[in-house]
Structure 1
Amino acid sequence: MRRRAFLVAGLAASMSAGRADAAVGERRAAADALFDRFCAETGLADASTIVMRGEKVLHQRYAGRYTPQTLVPIASSSKWMFGALVMTLVDDGLLALEAPIGTYLPELPASHRALRVDALMSYTAGLVGLREALELQQPAGIPLLESALRAARTPLAAPPGAQFDYGGANFQFVGAAAERVSGRTWHELFQARIAGPLGMTSTAWGRLRAAPDPRAPVANPVLQAGAWTTLPDYAAFLTMIAQDGLHRGRRILSARAVAAMGTIMTRGLPKVGPEGLGAQPAEYMIAHWCERPEGLRCTLESSPGYFGANPWIDRTTRLHGVLLVQDQRRRIVDAETRLRDGLIDLFA
């Protein structure tokens, strides 16, 4: 009798596991269909995407020439990684979000010394935005401090805190401060505090369109848009953020730092830009977007880039994912949004 009970229980468990495996297979097939539809709608032969919950991969696809080793320029998707690196210095007490940048860079002119670090990181400090492309026109070989000093020659476009003006040279100021308080270059900081601990073996910072050479890192990387990465690398970074600073049991950022990055900084402010990103997300936080603000919380965070890359975190479903492509985002933004939202609905 007992043996029969065991056999029945085992058969039931086997059938249940079979149904679960079938459901997983169906979801993956549906996710593949969504990805294939995105590629067909956009005409893109080369693309990759991943969807995760925690550290579990739910869906991953590579199309065309894209492989796990493919290095892709991610433009403004760099911003989220920039913000996280700066927040490691905040965690260590080397920088403070509420501090004036002149605390760390007294060489700046008086007009810029009082600008707060968090305002610079949220494009609310009053600096002229992306339309001037200040740091994009600078030499690659000058130090970050010189980059900031040159950018400070351009007068403020608005009083600090009066408007959101996307994509200025703001991050060069904070990057220069990061180098000063740590005594290390931006590249050394990123490797020691983000890339190394997360196992990001391929990500590097450079200029917007020229692939970085790790053997000869540029002194003046474009911190708002100059990172190049692979799908596994960015997925590791985003998993850490989605898990409030933890990755494979190792703490990279404090939960408080991740929460501070998720503070909406632009509520009620006039907004200028962003040019080239298609539909503008709702609000900006510390170095990334809030697409779905709900009260004081943000339930959908993202950092879309001009070339089409789009990392995102859906806090409601606890899903996160990355799309890597190389195109113009304003051309593919509708199809990209349908893909992401479809994947969220599928795996919710």
Structure 2
Amino acid sequence: MNVRSQTRWLPLLALLAAGPLCPAQAASPQARQQAAAAVAADDPQCRSLGDFYWEIGDVNGPQGSGVIGGEYTADTSVRVASASKFVWGAYVLEKIGRNNQPTPEQVASLEMRSGYAKFNPLFCALSRSVDACMSSRSNGERDSGLIGKFAYGGGHDQRLAGQLGLGRLSARELTDEVTSYVGKDIGFSYRTPLLAGGMESTPSQFATFLRKVISGQLRLKQFLGYQPVCTQCESAAESPAREPWHYSLNHWIEDTPGIGDGAFSSPGAMGFYPWISKDKTTYGILARQKMGAGAYWDSVLCGRKIRKAWMEAR
């Protein structure tokens, strides 16, 4: 081949080296909705939940949703229990200042390594302030043997609230304080002055919060997965997760080898399950309110299948 012929073929060779001329198209929203809805309605682990509402979206709003049964919609108010931790983590990061990093002590509290592991939320039933809840019976006791070890419980957040100057606040005042930092437009509230589990919200309101995270309006986005700690290892004491997830600043990392997809989540005891995808572009909610020891995990098992169906559109 002479020089002129080689020159003529160079553009074509460059295109071939760059890969296919027509890359595969992303799945359509309709295909994702159909796949997720089919799992929500027909998968055995979802059917076992009874009634629930699910939603998946991005910074632009809900992109798919569904109602199973007639008990829950996007506007049904439910107790979100430990999903409150997601919000508290976001609040702390805003409270300390957008240019400041959390201190090692604050990180230890948000990762449940502060030693305040004797906390029982039932002792707060009649408490009218953050400090009153913390001082009720054994709630304020610190276990020196657990300092530095992951030990799941609400005492870490409750103690941190006092250290941030919120000890005298009632549930109503706590609502005003937290929403003044994460957004008055969100609309959720505290039923009790319990940072780790006292909130109630509608799926729509909580979705607003999750969108503010993935859009970067709340700095929690950059701290998702920050300095993760193991929860089922020698340096951990107690974990409600039934898989070896890691824990970050008041949220779980669903990274079980061979099973987890790396999503960030904070499932509540009564089955409210909010999550953010590993790439921090998509959020989701499975909403219901049921009493039961395994309600939170049952929602996880169904919710992550809905997420997988949505992501893969099949």
TM range (shorter): 0.7 to 0.9
User: Corresponding residue for 2:95?
Assistant: 89
For residue 343 of structure 1, what is the amino acid of its counterpart?
W
Stretch deviating more after TM superposition (285-294 or 64-73): 285-294
Distance 1:181 1:35 in 2: 42
Could you tell me which of 209, 232, 235 is aligned with 1:237?
Answer: 209
| Root mean square deviation of aligned Cα | 3.2
Alpha-carbon offset, residue 51 of structure 1: 0.9
Stretch deviating more after TM superposition (140-149 or 163-172): 140-149
Aligned length: 276
Does residue 175 in structure 1 map to residue 161 in structure 2?
yes
- What's the CA shift string for 1:51-88, capped at 9, x where partnerless? 11222422012231212220011111110001111111
- What's the CA shift string for 1:143-179, capped at 9, x where partnerless? 2123334456524152521x10011411111222334
Distance 1:284 1:68 in 2: 28
Could you tell me which of 182, 190, 201 is aligned with 1:205?
Answer: 190
Distance 1:324 1:269 in 2: 34
Output aligned runs, 1:233-312, within 5 Å. Answer: 233-244=205-216, 246=217, 253-254=218-219, 258-267=221-230, 270-275=235-240, 277=241, 279-292=242-255, 299-312=262-275
- What's the CA shift string for 1:264-318, capped at 9, x where partnerless? 341476223333x5x2352110111111399xxx942111122122111113373
| Unpaired segments ≥5 residues, structure 2 | 1-24
Distance 1:239 1:193 in 2: 15
TM-score, normalised relative to structure 1: 0.69
Does residue 123 in structure 1 map to residue 90 in structure 2?
no
User: Corresponding residue for 1:107?
Assistant: none
The 1:152–1:65 alpha-carbon spacing in structure 2 relative to 1, beyond 3 Å, is closer
The 1:346–1:292 alpha-carbon spacing in structure 2 relative to 1, beyond 3 Å, is same
Could you tell me which of 150, 153, 156 is aligned with 1:164?
Answer: 150
User: Corresponding residue for 2:66?
Assistant: 61
User: Corresponding residue for 1:334?
Assistant: 301
Asked if 2 retains the 8 angstrom alpha-carbon contact of 1:264 and 1:283, the reply is no
| Unpaired segments ≥5 residues, structure 1 | 1-19, 100-115, 208-220, 247-252
TM-score, normalised relative to structure 2: 0.75
Alpha-carbon offset, residue 228 of structure 1: 1.0
Alpha-carbon offset, residue 47 of structure 1: 1.0
Stretch deviating more after TM superposition (47-56 or 69-78): 47-56
What secondary structure sits across from 1:158 in the alignment?
Answer: helix
Distance 1:148 1:183 in 2: 12
User: Corresponding residue for 1:3?
Assistant: none
What secondary structure sits across from 2:276 in the alignment?
Answer: strand
Asked if 1 retains the 8 angstrom alpha-carbon contact of 2:85 and 2:251, the reply is yes
Distance 1:239 1:35 in 2: 22
Distance 2:46 2:29 in 1: 26
For residue 73 of structure 1, what is the amino acid of its counterpart?
R
Stretch deviating more after TM superposition (168-177 or 331-340): 331-340
Distance 1:300 1:271 in 2: 21
Distance 1:47 1:301 in 2: 21
For residue 87 of structure 2, what is the amino acid of its counterpart?
M
What secondary structure sits across from 1:118 in the alignment?
Answer: helix
| Identical-pair percentage | 20
The 1:146–1:338 alpha-carbon spacing in structure 2 relative to 1, beyond 3 Å, is same
What secondary structure sits across from 1:308 in the alignment?
Answer: coil
The 1:152–1:305 alpha-carbon spacing in structure 2 relative to 1, beyond 3 Å, is closer
Asked if 2 retains the 8 angstrom alpha-carbon contact of 1:311 and 1:323, the reply is yes
Output aligned runs, 1:70-109, within 5 Å. Answer: 70-91=76-97, 97-98=102-103
- What's the CA shift string for 1:303-339, capped at 9, x where partnerless? 1122122111113373221111223123454333322
